[in-house]
Amino acid sequence: MLKTKIMGEHKVWLITGASKGMGLEITKAVLGNGDKVIATSRNTDTLLEKVEEHKGTLLPIKLEVTNEKDVENAVLKGIETFGQIDVVINNAGYNLLGNIEEISDAEFRKTMDVNVFAMTHIIRHVLPHLRKQKSGLIINTASMMGYMSYPANGSYSASKYAVIGLSEALAQEVAPFGIKVTIMAPGTFRTNFMNEDTLNVAQHKIDAYNLDKQVEQFTGFDGKQLGNPKKLAEVVLQLAEMSNPPLHLPLGSDSYNAILKVRKNEMEEMEEWKTLSLSTDFEQH
């Protein structure tokens, strides 16, 4: 149970992709906890319908996160309205199913634009404010798929691996300014992410890969995901209260167990090929 807040303790959150899925649940939990939210979405009407009772503490901003100028304006408007930003949730995401040979350059770039470059736009424009106030928490949403990959998930995994690498560097860069970074790596959560109506699929299908079958297997998990997005939102609230939040945070038993298994397999493989790995150094005299 979260403690009751006293005057002056309320935080201001910036949340992208706030109108559905995990972003919506986080937005609702944050507002319910008495904090203020700058909520960005491509569809603010949908968002307002779902959180209309919080209009005084909610600033909805229609935003295409891939447009850096719009991102800059959104951050400035949020600061102008609420005076500060304390927690940033980079949640907006895009998933594309397609085998590498099938994915067009434009499709791959869109995945990277939304999942990596848009996140970087947000970070770039909030950091001057966070550095000035010498505090803040940036939560970047990666995925268990940022630690491993599967057929037809290459572009999504590539983007989430990038989120992790970027966030690890960012955490070290901003630590001297009192700013914390957490990489949130959800497993499968019951949102519309695996719904066939919202799924993006490569347009150029090659029969040899049978992409339709891969898509069917993926969407077959819809409604059966282990993760509860409301519980994820409660964890996010806890992160915001921590003086030393984790850098890496898998969420869900599927994510936690899969990442541990991958790490174990990597260690075994490295040990198996250790002699070859160490054979490339100059001879030491």
Q: What is the pLDDT of residues 40-80, one digit of tens each?
A: 998 888 777 777 666 689 999 999 999 999 999 999 999 99
Residue 36 β-bridge partners: 12
Task: Write the secondary structure of 163-194 as one string of H (helix), E (strand) and C (coil).
Answer: HHHHHHHHHHHHHHHCEEEEEEEECCECCHHH
What pLDDT score was predicted for residue 141?
Answer: 95
Task: Specify if 272 maps to a domain.
Answer: no
Report the number of distinct structural domains present in the chain. 1
Under the banding of pLDDT at 50, 70 and 90, the label for residue 5 is very low
Cα separation of 57 and 50, whole Å?
Answer: 14
With beta carbons less than 8 A apart as the criterion, state whether 26 and 90 touch: no
Under the banding of pLDDT at 50, 70 and 90, the label for residue 175 is very high
With beta carbons less than 8 A apart as the criterion, state whether 119 and 90 touch: yes
Please check the confidence at residue 194 and state whether its pLDDT lies above 80: no
Outline where the chain has alpha helix (H): 21-32, 44-50, 68-82, 105-112, 118-133, 154-174, 211-219, 229-241, 253-272, 274-278
- At 180, phi and psi to the nearest 5? -105, 155
Catalytic residue among 94, 147, 150, 156: 156
Task: Specify if 281 maps to a domain.
Answer: no
Under the banding of pLDDT at 50, 70 and 90, the label for residue 221 is low
Residue bearing the bigger pLDDT, 189 or 274: 274
Please check the confidence at residue 118 and state whether its pLDDT lies above 70: yes
Chain segment 128-139, per-residue pLDDT in tens: 999 999 999 999
Provide the token pair at 268. Answer: 């075994």
Under the banding of pLDDT at 50, 70 and 90, the label for residue 7 is very low
Cα separation of 177 and 170, whole Å?
Answer: 12
Task: Specify if 58 maps to a domain.
Answer: yes
Task: Specify if 39 maps to a domain.
Answer: yes
Under the banding of pLDDT at 50, 70 and 90, the label for residue 187 is confident
Cα separation of 68 and 177, whole Å?
Answer: 24
With beta carbons less than 8 A apart as the criterion, state whether 191 and 227 touch: no
What pLDDT score was predicted for residue 224?
Answer: 65
Please check the confidence at residue 258 and state whether its pLDDT lies above 50: yes
Cα separation of 122 and 99, whole Å?
Answer: 30
59-68, 129-138, 222-231, 243-252: least confidently modelled range: 222-231
Torsion over CA of 63, 67, 73 and 79, rounded to 10 degrees? 70
What pLDDT score was predicted for residue 1?
Answer: 37
Burial class of residue 63, CB neighbours in 10 A (0-12, 13-18, 19+): buried
Task: Specify if 123 maps to a domain.
Answer: yes
Read off the pLDDT of each residue in 5-27 and give the average, rounded to a whole number. 83
Single-letter code of the amino acid located at 206:
I
Cα separation of 259 and 113, whole Å?
Answer: 25
Task: Specify if 6 maps to a domain.
Answer: no
Q: What is the DSSP letter of 282?
A: P
Task: Determine what percent of the chain is predicted with pLDDT higher than 90.
Answer: 75
15-19, 101-105, 109-113, 244-248: least confidently modelled range: 15-19
Domain around 201:
12-266
With beta carbons less than 8 A apart as the criterion, state whether 111 and 215 touch: no
Q: What angle do CA 282, 283, 284 make, to 5 degrees?
A: 110
* Catalytic residue status for 256: no
Cα separation of 22 and 202, whole Å?
Answer: 25
The enclosing domain of 59 has a CATH number of 3.40.50.720
Task: Specify if 31 maps to a domain.
Answer: yes
Provide the token pair at 102. Answer: 């099938």
Burial class of residue 57, CB neighbours in 10 A (0-12, 13-18, 19+): middle
Please check the confidence at residue 197 and state whether its pLDDT lies above 80: no
Task: Specify if 5 maps to a domain.
Answer: no
